[in-house]
Chain A
Amino acid sequence: MTMWLIRRFLQAGFVILAMTVIVFIGVSVIGDPMEMLVAPDATQKERLEVAAALGLDRPLWQQYFTFLSGLAQGDFGRSFIYGEPALQVILTRLPATLELAFTAIGMSVLVGVPLGLYAGLYPDAKTSKAIMAGSIIGFSLPTFWVGLMLIVIFAVELGWLPASGRGDTVSVLGLQWSFLTLDGWSHLLLPALNLALFKVSLILRLVRAGVREVMPEDYVKFARAKGLTEGRVIFVHVLKNLMIPVVTIIGLEFGSVIAFSVVTETIFSWPGMGKLIIESINLLDRPVIVAYLMIIVLLFVVINLIVDLLYTVLDPRVRIRTGA
């Protein structure tokens, strides 16, 4: 187990190192940040001064190693735009994205699992067919359109919920959180719903498929033959067996919500990391882009690790072997 963890951390280290190279080169070939940073009427001398101050006058490999040695000390460089450490710029946006992601994933599990169970247990019921048809819609409608429709219906027409921003926030541990206030929740609801719609469809389909697969198994029949209540058979014997694919998908989706909720954050003007990365790409704020991508890589590595550990909790047959 310990060996396995050490190996996993080493692997993660290599993944991250490889990513630094790809990201650094990738970012360096797109556009020239000088164009954005220096006034068009600046003199050549001013230009050179700015380039020297940002380290852009040196060859790429030198810039890379400067970046790497900074990284080793936890320094991702300073944002060209904000003049603050890139990491700090991102981290101040993190709570907004995190609470959006947690709410969206929470919604999709709370809705998706029961609907999937129902559709799996009663595949011929009209309700189940409606659920499955609905999930196709959930899959295929583009996020931006659904987001706009949500705004049109709930914010503009009905006026029930606000269309943009985070609302009131409360400061905890020096970070701003809106899920602690009622107003914050009202702001959170629509974007979270927007993000959750696709995931509800995904999870309910997975759960349904799992139920259909597990129900005919002998151990389900045996559980019934033991005289257990139907509730215990389904919520303990069946549900626990189909959680592995569901947990995998939840893990991956959680990562992708944090990393790529760009569209939703843009539509709802949600001041999270997704909105930040789009702005940074537009303004060619290289340190922020690089730092952001590094954080995302780290995030996926951590999520995968957690999912692997959860497997061993869910299925005792999954053993973590040092050699694996």
Chain B
Amino acid sequence: MSEAVLSVRNLRTEYPTHAGTVIAVRDVSFDIAKGEVLGLVGESGSGKTVTGFSIMGLLETPGRIAQGEILFHGKNLADLPPKEMRSLRGNRIAMIFQDPMMTLNPVLRIDTQIIETILAHEKMSRRAAWEKARDALGEVGIPEPEARLSAYPHQFSGGMRQRVAIAIALLHKPELLIADEPTTALDVTIQAQILSIVQRLVAQYGTSLIWITHDLSIVSQIADRIAVMYAGRFVELGAAGQVIATPHHPYTSGLIGSIPSANARGQPLAQIRGTTPSVLNLPTGCPFRTRCDHADEACLQEPPMAPDPAHPSHQFRCHHPLALGVAQELEPS
């Protein structure tokens, strides 16, 4: 792998509230190489979206990055002046959101919303910007882009709106795209279309992609590497094939086990028992221990992120890793 486009080091994001400080992201470290696809998996509230917003510098007040570095080509985004951060956003780092019905401004025309993004980062005539906007819509497979440019968001379906959002995010061929569950709110058939559009374009532009989702089955299709988040921490990080085939963390294993499959027809779905603990009231030590079958006294101490001796790039955060040294013959896909 070539030099990392983005390298996050010990990121910690906090939200001071009246009930105490919520640590939404804790000790998160990862690299992403040029053109690489990282799948960020976790339940609601596990901190995956906050991780995305931390990178974008778009944390809602009172959220703040309390610790750590977000190095984009070696430049720390965490203490970049707002003006410089703004010139990166939508230009070299872009983001698309979960609900396409809400990401476009309902009272502004599509052309306004695209052209303003172009002109925010590039000097060009309105005419040239309009042509670029039209071509961008064509790229994401919107029929009759000239006519659609003067439409309003409510005249588009959810899938079409997400295409527009993708077109906007990729206008400047960014080096990093953060996709925050962009297919969750869509029909399954539309999901597949959106997925393939994003995959095609990031490959074409050499864009690195962070795909945030709670859906392991999507991530296993597109990601080079997978990171699993639980209670604000990375609990497992590794090549997609390894993480899916030999999950070391019981939580990852539970997630994989709970995916319905045709082979298990008629049998009850496997579940992870219990519910996600409140971030304000996490168990001491390993946050997963109250839901884990393997927990013992050792789990009262929070485990560090440790590498798999056989595959050092496959890391996990568990005192009792599963399947360590098993299935080594499986090659990463």
Contact = CB atoms under 8 A, between A and B. Distances in A.
**Is B a genuine binding partner of A?**
yes
Interface of A: 216-219, 221-229, 232, 236-237, 240-241, 314-317
B89 A317 contact: no
Nearest to A241: B107
Contact of A224 (B58, B91, B116): B58
B103 A227 contact: no
B193 interface: no
Contacts of B94: 225-226
A218 B86 CA distance: 17
Contacts of B44: none
Given A221-B58, A317-B154, A227 B108 contact: no
B122 to A, nearest CB: 11
A227 B121 contact: yes
A157 B56 CA distance: 57
A227 B87 contact: yes
A218 B106 contact: no
A123 to B, nearest CB: 10
B87 A225 contact: no
Nearest to B87: A227
24 contacts: A216-B60, A218-B97, A218-B103, A219-B104, A219-B106, A221-B97, A222-B104, A225-B58, A226-B90, A226-B94, A227-B87, A227-B88, A227-B89, A227-B91, A227-B121, A228-B86, A228-B116, A228-B120, A236-B108, A241-B105, A314-B107, A316-B152, A316-B154, A317-B154
Instruction: Find the residue from B88, B97, B103 having the highest chain A CB count within 10 A.
Output: B103
Contacts of B86: 227-229
Contacts of B168: 222, 226
A124 to B, nearest CB: 9
A114 to B, nearest CB: 20
B102 to A, nearest CB: 4
B106 to A, nearest CB: 6
A225 B90 contact: yes
Contact of A228 (B56, B104, B117): B117
Instruction: Give me the 8 closest cross-chain CB pairs, A-B, nearest first.
Output: A227-B90, A226-B90, A218-B102, A227-B89, A316-B152, A226-B117, A219-B105, A225-B95
Nearest to A316: B152
Interface string B106-143: 11110000001100110000000000000000000000
B107 A225 contact: no
B286 interface: no
Nearest to A217: B102
Dominant secondary structure of chain A at its interface with chain B: helix
A222 B107 contact: no
Contacts of B107: 240-241, 314-317
A314 B152 CA distance: 12
Nearest to B97: A218
Interface in B256-289: none
A151 to B, nearest CB: 43
Contacts of B302: none
A232 B120 CA distance: 10
A234 to B, nearest CB: 12
B99 interface: yes
B213 to A, nearest CB: 17
B89 A226 contact: yes
Contacts of B56: 225
Contacts of B97: 218, 221-222, 225
A267 B176 CA distance: 66
Contacts of A217: 102
Given A225-B90, A227-B87, 20 more contacts: A217-B102, A221-B58, A226-B90, A226-B116, A226-B169, A227-B88, A227-B91, A227-B117, A228-B86, A229-B86, A237-B108, A240-B108, A241-B106, A314-B107, A315-B107, A316-B106, A316-B109, A316-B152, A317-B152, A317-B154
A240 B108 CA distance: 9
Contacts of A315: 106-107
Nearest to A224: B58
B202 interface: no
B317 to A, nearest CB: 30
Contacts of A241: 105-107
A241 B88 CA distance: 26
Contact of B99 (A216, A218, A237, A317): A218
A227 B80 CA distance: 14
Interface string B161-179: 0000100110000000000
Contacts of A225: 56, 58, 89-90, 94-95, 97, 169
A237 B116 CA distance: 11
Nearest to B112: A236
A236 B117 CA distance: 13
Given A315-B106, A316-B107, A228 B90 contact: yes
A120 to B, nearest CB: 13
A135 to B, nearest CB: 23
A216 B154 CA distance: 20
B87 A237 contact: no
A224 B58 CA distance: 8
B207 to A, nearest CB: 15
A223 B94 CA distance: 11
Nearest to A314: B107
A42 B72 CA distance: 99
Contacts of B89: 224-227
A236 B108 CA distance: 9
Nearest to B83: A229
Contacts of A216: 60
A317 B60 contact: no
Nearest to A216: B60
Given A217-B102, A315-B106, A315-B107, A229 B154 contact: no
A219 B102 CA distance: 6
B123 to A, nearest CB: 14
Contacts of A317: 106-107, 152, 154
A26 B118 CA distance: 63
